[in-house]
Amino acid sequence: MLMRTDPFRELDRLTQQALGASGSWSRPTAMPMDAYRQGDTYVVVFDLPGVSSEAIELDVERNVLTVRAERRPPAHDDAVEVQVSERPLGVFSRQLFLGDTLDSDHIDAQYDAGVLTLRIPIAAAAKPRRIEVSAGSQSPREIDA
């Protein structure tokens, strides 16, 4: 499994922290993730606290998995005066390049308690298999020169 890396992601994160900027509505923000192999399955876990399951989109196109989520500000009536707003809002996005050995047609996605878990099985054609060797003819052969 290959993952797209962005060398400027950490710089963007530090800049947002230093300037006090929260998530932008125009530019997708990265979401933290873990990925590991468990037997014949790759497991990818994303942290998406405060995002409803309806606001999560998963797309696979040409072995590229795109995870996109949006966290909107809570609806307040006119009587509410926000004092502090530090939680990032807006669009969160991440792309993963799936190797040819993964079965992108059978991805299982579950969302619970702000954590999105994807299980991506390894394709049957990529699994190791044993090849039987059949015994050849044991009778002597005459070689013509």
The CATH code of the domain that includes 99 is 2.60.40.790
In the sheet that holds 108-112, the strands lie side by side as 33-38, 41-47, 115-121, 108-112
On whether residue 8 sits in a domain, the answer given is no
Complete DSSP assignment for 31-55? --EEEEEETTEEEEEEE-TT--GGG
pLDDT digits (tens, 9 = 90+) for 78-136: 888 888 877 778 888 899 999 888 998 999 999 999 999 999 999 877 667 788 888 77
On whether residue 67 sits in a domain, the answer given is yes
Cut 0.85: pTM above it = no
Query: Is residue 1 scored above 80 in pLDDT?
Result: no
Cα gap 66→57, rounded to integer Å = 8
Q: How many domains does the chain have?
A: 1
Q: For residue 110, what are the domain limits? A: 28-73+88-127
- Residue of higher predicted confidence among 2 and 91: 91
On whether residue 36 sits in a domain, the answer given is yes
On whether residue 2 sits in a domain, the answer given is no
On whether residue 139 sits in a domain, the answer given is no
